[in-house]
Amino acid sequence: MNRNQQFLKVSAAVGTVALAAALLRSEYERAHFVVEETKIASPKIRSAHTLVFLTDLHDREFGQKNCRLLEAVREIRPDAVLIGGDMMLVKPERASLAVTESLLEGLSGLCPVYYANGNHEQRMWQEREEYRGLYLKFRRILYKNRVKYLSDGSALLWDDVRVSGLNIDKKYYYNFFPPHMSARAVQAHLGKADADRYQILLAHSPLSFDAYAGWGADLTLSGHFHGGTIRLPVLGGLMTPQYQFFSRYCEGTFEKDGRCMIVGRGLGTHSVNIRLGNLPQVCVVRLQPGAAGQQG
C-alpha cells in the first residue's frame, strides 16, 4: 500500500468516526431541551409577568406524553403559555394530533394557554381537502382544553398586555426568496396594534421583523427556523426550512427602534431530523416595568 492509499484509508476512517459522533450527538440533542430566559422591560408594563413561549414541537415527545416538558413548564410557574405554531407535523403521509392533544391537556391545567398558527396549522385548513377533518378535530381539542385560539385574532392577557396571532400568507413560507412583507399587510390581518398596552405578536416566521415592528409589535415571538438545524461557531444557523443559509434570524433576541423580537429554536424537527450545536429550547420571557428594551 503506497502513501496515498494509506492517507485515503486513514481519512475515510477518521471521517466515519466523526460522522458517527455527530449523529450520536444529534440524537442526544433532539432528546434534551434547555430552558432559557430573557428579561424585557417597558414603561407600558405595570406589573411583572412571566411567559413561556413554545414553538415547533412537530410531534416530538420528551418523555411519555411530554411529561418532562410539562414538568419544566410547571417549575417555571408562568402566568401564561404562548404557543407559536407547528406543534404537529401535517404532511400527506403523516398527520396526527395525538401529541398536541396530550400536551395541551397538560398545559391547560397549569395556566392560561394562547395558541397561534404556524404553517402546519394553516395547512390543515388552507391547502388540502383531506385535512379538513383534522382541522375540525384540532378546533375541538382547543375548545375542550380552554385554549384561546389566535387565528388572526387578539386577546388581552392582562390590562397592560395584549397578544395577537398572525396568519402569515403562504407566499412568505414557500419561496426561497420570499417577497417583502409590509406593516400594512400585517394590519390587513389583525387591524391596528394596541398603542396603549404592551403589544405582543405571535408571528411564526421571523423574516419580516421590520413589518412586525412597523405594525406596532413591542415584542414579536417567532420560530419556524429550528435554530438553523446545525449551529456553527461565529456563523450561526446553517439552514432554514426554506433553504436559506446562515440567516441572521435563526435564533436569538433582536431589537429595532425600541421593539424586540425573540426567535425560539423550537423543540422538534421534521424533514431534516438533525440538531447539532442546537439544543431544543423552552423560552421564558420575564416582562417587567422599566425603560424599554432587553434587560438580560
- Residue pLDDT, tens place only, 227-242: 988 888 878 887 787 7
pLDDT digits (tens, 9 = 90+) for 125-176: 776 677 888 999 999 999 999 999 999 999 999 999 999 999 999 888 877 7
The larger pLDDT score, comparing residue 170 to residue 105, is at 105
Please state whether the predicted TM-score (pTM) of the whole model is above 0.85.
yes
Q: What pLDDT, on a 0 to 100 scale, did the predictor assign at position 238?
A: 78
**What's the confidence (pLDDT) of residue 40?**
96
Q: What are the grid coordinates assigned to 11, written together?
A: 481519512
Which triple of cell numbers denotes residue 34? 434547555
Structural contact between residues 77 and 50, judged by C-beta atoms closer than 8 angstroms: yes
Question: 173: closest CA among 137, 126, 237?
Answer: 126
Position 78 pLDDT exceeds 90: yes
Q: Which parts of the chain are beta strand (E)?
A: 34-42, 49-54, 80-83, 90-91, 94-95, 113-115, 148-149, 153-158, 161-166, 198-203, 219-222, 231-232, 236-237, 252-256, 259-263, 281-289, 293-294
The confidence score (pLDDT) of residue 182 equals 96
